[in-house]
Structure 1
Amino acid sequence: MKFIGIIPARYASTRFPGKPLADMKGKYMIQRVYEQVKTVLDRVYVATDDRRIFDAVHSFGGKAVMTSENHKSGTDRCFEAYSRIGEGEDVIVNIQGDEPFIQTRQIEAIMECFESEGTQIATLVKPFTKEDGFDALFNSNSPKVVLNNRNEALYFSRS
């Protein structure tokens, strides 16, 4: 199976404008994500609507593609990017641009999902634990998912 990783990144985030270019001990946040993912996937691109992010990605040797600024979601941005740079990959891995500590094992786990012929889409989730604290459930910056008994997502929400 052929995989491609696409990291949607926009500058004009409402919660944290410029987040992809935030300095994390001398590297951009988007650079840390890119470098982690690149250790597992052969082809990785940042999909952005902002020239500053595009130029920053190229400055550290990454690959980027410009997309429309009118997308409503990162998934839409990934689709446009793939239609421009795709080479017949079987799976597009949409990687969140604000996950600088993503582990290679997490990307490998997503890839393993597609060993089953019936898998068309997969997403990583983790249960809330007591250590997360009760407030984590009400944090709008933390997406939540409700799963059925077959671990299929029924509902996604920030509420």
Structure 2
Amino acid sequence: MSVLIVIPARYASSRYPGKPLATLKGASGDVKSLVQRSWEAACAVSGVDRVVVATDDDRIKTACEAFGAEVVMTSPECANGTERCAEAFDVLGGGYDIVVNLQGDAPLTPAWFVEDLVSGLRQDTAAEVATPVLRCDGRALNGFLEDRKAGRVGGTTAVFTTAHHALYFSKEVVPFTSETYADDDDTPVFHHVGVYAYRPAALGAYAGWKAGPLEQLEGLEQLRFMEHGRQVLCVEVEARGRQFWELNNPEDVPRIEAMMAEMGTP
């Protein structure tokens, strides 16, 4: 089954304008834009036939072409990354069995997260969309709780059935837990990793649906699939000693740079 990775990159983010071009310093001292680091993460995934950046902004297009990425121009009217992936897929003429949305704010995404995601969707024929979830350790959960106390929207959490079909995603920390966890403790909370794998039919249908109340309240694009009765598979992935965090707010830059330094990410 052929696989296309699309990296949606929008300049006009309400929370962080110009976010794809924000720079991150690696452990070696190299400074690269967020979108370049996300593109390099995508290129490290095995079994992928093509990687493109989908944007509506000439500044992002110019920056991406400078480091060698293929760019697809899409409409500024796209409401989220899934809509942008759907448009990019159409612009490219289709022809792929699985489309992966590797959002441009997740440069720490390990290759095996995406590889496991694609494998999970191939195996679960009932699912039309798949997305990774990562069990939080105490350090990650405390980071979520600190963000919420500070009034920041941080990462997203997920709850799912025993068959790993999604029940809900939220920017609040769900499920509720009153326990205190040490940094290395496992917790009952799962961090939703902002990557998606779609079957083309589901991706094509998505663009024709209006956003429902849950998507609008949470600001989470994947809830549109659930509000329209589509099965979303949560694929549990392993950290393997790696740290993971998305760049959601300017305050996340030093946090991610510290993680990159600790892991030796160049």
Q: TM-score, normalized by length of structure 1? A: 0.91
Letter aligned with residue 8 of structure 1? P
Q: In the aligned structure 1, how far is the partner of 2:93 from the partner of 2:121?
A: 18
Aligned twin of 1:9: 9
SS at match of 1:119: coil
Aligned twin of 1:149: 162
What's the CA shift for 1:115? 2.8
Q: Which residue, out of 159, 167, 171, partners 1:158?
A: 171
SS at match of 1:115: helix
Counterparts of residues 123-134 of structure 1 (less than 5 Å) = 123-134=131-142
Q: Residue 134 and residue 102 in structure 1: after superposition, are their counterparts in 2 closer, same or farther (change >3 A)?
A: closer
Q: Deviations over 1:9-67 (max 9, x none)?
A: 10111111111111223211111111121122230111111111111111101011111
Compute the RMSD of aligned alpha carbons. Answer: 1.6
Q: Give the unaligned 5+ runs of structure 2.
A: 26-30, 173-266
Q: In the aligned structure 2, how far is the partner of 1:153 from the partner of 1:133?
A: 20
CA contact (8 A) 2:2 2:49 kept: no
SS at match of 2:54: strand
Q: Residue 87 and residue 76 in structure 1: after superposition, are their counterparts in 2 closer, same or farther (change >3 A)?
A: closer
Q: Is 1:122 matched with 2:94?
A: no
Aligned twin of 1:49: 56
CA contact (8 A) 2:144 2:154 kept: no
Q: Is 1:93 matched with 2:106?
A: no
Q: Which has the larger radius of gyration?
A: 2
Letter aligned with residue 171 of structure 2? R
Q: In the aligned structure 2, how far is the partner of 1:84 from the partner of 1:42?
A: 16
Q: Which residue, out of 105, 109, 124, partners 1:102?
A: 109
Q: Give the unaligned 5+ runs of structure 1.
A: none
Percent of aligned pairs with the same amino acid:
40
Q: Which residue, out of 86, 90, 94, partners 1:79?
A: 86
What's the CA shift for 1:157? 2.0
What's the CA shift for 1:70? 1.2
Q: TM-score, normalized by length of structure 2? A: 0.56
SS at match of 1:128: strand
